[in-house]
């Protein structure tokens, strides 16, 4: 008995260091993964602030902070806004509020188009998906399961496989209605691609909301629509916000459909703007990196301000009941 007690004490004492070490190992592994994922972003941002001469150096240097003797010196760091200046293209304009105006096409053409496509698509996808998901969650009708499986199947179809048919459809509409708005067609295409998975995700949120809350609201005098908007929708708001963000980011980062379906260059989005800038700046890597950073900033800022609601929605939607 005494020997068993001694062995138990020895095993527990040997287990304690492992228990203390495990959180550190997990944290270290997570930090390593984060560092590997953030390194391309950090290197792009750093490249955007380099001089053209430092970009072309052989062998390349990660930080342009060496002095004439080749020694590392923070005081000798050479960070400039040359690349951003080539992207923004400020021109004097006495009638402008600040005395100058931005003439770079990424800011004057491509980014406004992408903001329109992303915001309009995300708004309509959220509204339509919310109404559809509520019906699938609360009502039982024929072919309900088949329709849900069909939506899930559509969500898994790559956009590239449908581009030929959509291009032919767009050309037919363009010939039939000479004055039609191509931006509207692009928004409808994005809504069609983002809607199936959005319905499935929001349905999961509606499934977690007890029906007794709606019944109690109806007993208190609410109509079915009033119970929906006053009780169900506020509880499902994190899920709706997550769908809005996912759709917004998905449309913002989309390139191939916007490139192939739009007949006019001035109607294309920011991803095409970066692609177009590559052709103009093959030898100016600092300007190309600056264009990538400027296109990336709006999405990063939106995600940083809404990250708490987004992660809360993802965790809440992962558990039913």
pLDDT digits (tens, 9 = 90+) for 249-269: 899 988 888 888 888 888 888
pLDDT of residue 3: 53
Q: Which of 169, 301, 313, 166 is nearest to 236 (CA)?
A: 313
Cα–Cα dist 59/72, whole Å: 15
pLDDT tens, N- to C-terminus, the chain (321 residues): 555 554 455 555 555 666 777 888 888 898 999 889 888 888 888 888 888 877 777 777 778 877 777 777 777 788 888 888 888 887 877 777 777 788 788 888 899 999 999 999 999 999 999 988 888 888 888 888 888 888 888 888 888 888 888 888 888 888 888 778 888 999 999 998 999 989 988 888 888 888 888 888 888 778 877 888 888 888 888 888 888 988 998 999 888 888 888 888 888 888 888 888 777 766 678 888 888 898 888 888 888 887 776 666 656 554 444
Beta strands in the chain (DSSP E): 90-92, 100-102
DSSP state of 50: B
Query: Quick count: other Cβ atoms within 10 Å of Cβ 194?
Result: 25
Cα–Cα dist 129/196, whole Å: 8
Cα–Cα dist 109/102, whole Å: 11
Peptide bond before residue 59 is cis, with ω within 30 degrees of 0: yes
pLDDT digits (tens, 9 = 90+) for 265-286: 888 888 888 888 777 766 678 8
Predicted structure pTM score: 0.82
| Cβ-Cβ contacts under 8 Å for 273 (sequence gap 6 or more) | 105, 106, 109, 110, 111, 291, 295
Domains of the chain by range and CATH? 26-80 (no CATH), 110-318 (1.10.3720.10)
Query: Quick count: other Cβ atoms within 10 Å of Cβ 143?
Result: 9
């Amino acid at each position: 008995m005494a020997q068993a007690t001694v062995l138990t004490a020895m095993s527990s004492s040997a287990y304690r260091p492992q228990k203390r070490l495990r959180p550190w190992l997990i944290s270290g592994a997570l930090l390593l993964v984060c560092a590997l994922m953030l390194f391309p972003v950090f290197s792009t941002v750093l490249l955007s602030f380099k001089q053209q001469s430092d970009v072309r150096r052989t062998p390349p240097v990660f930080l342009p902070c060496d002095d004439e003797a080749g020694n590392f010196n923070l005081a000798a760091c050479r960070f400039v806004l040359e690349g951003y200046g080539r992207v923004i293209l400020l021109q004097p304009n006495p009638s402008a509020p600040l005395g100058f105006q931005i003439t770079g096409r990424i800011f004057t053409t491509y980014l406004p188009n992408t903001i329109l496509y992303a915001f309009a698509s995300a708004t309509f996808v959220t509204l339509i998906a919310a109404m559809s998901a509520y019906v699938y969650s609360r009502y039982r009708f024929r072919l309900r399961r088949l329709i849900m499986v069909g939506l899930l199947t559509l969500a898994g179809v790559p956009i590239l496989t449908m581009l030929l048919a959509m291009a032919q459809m767009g050309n037919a509409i363009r010939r039939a209605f000479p004055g039609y708005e191509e931006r509207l067609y692009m928004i409808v295409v994005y809504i069609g691609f983002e809607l199936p998975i959005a319905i499935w995700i929001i349905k999961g949120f509606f499934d977690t909301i007890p029906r007794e809350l709606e019944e109690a609201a109806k007993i208190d005098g609410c109509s079915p629509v009033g119970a929906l908007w006053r009780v169900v929708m506020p509880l499902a708001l994190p899920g709706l916000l997550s769908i809005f963000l996912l759709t917004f980011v998905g449309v913002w980062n989309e390139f191939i459909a916007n490139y192939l379906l739009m007949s006019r260059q001035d109607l294309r989005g920011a991803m095409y703007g970066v692609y177009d800038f590559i052709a103009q700046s093959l030898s100016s890597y600092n300007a190309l990196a600056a264009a990538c950073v400027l296109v990336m900033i709006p999405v990063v800022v939106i995600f940083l301000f809404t990250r708490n609601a987004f992660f809360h929605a993802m965790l809440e939607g992962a558990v039913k009941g």
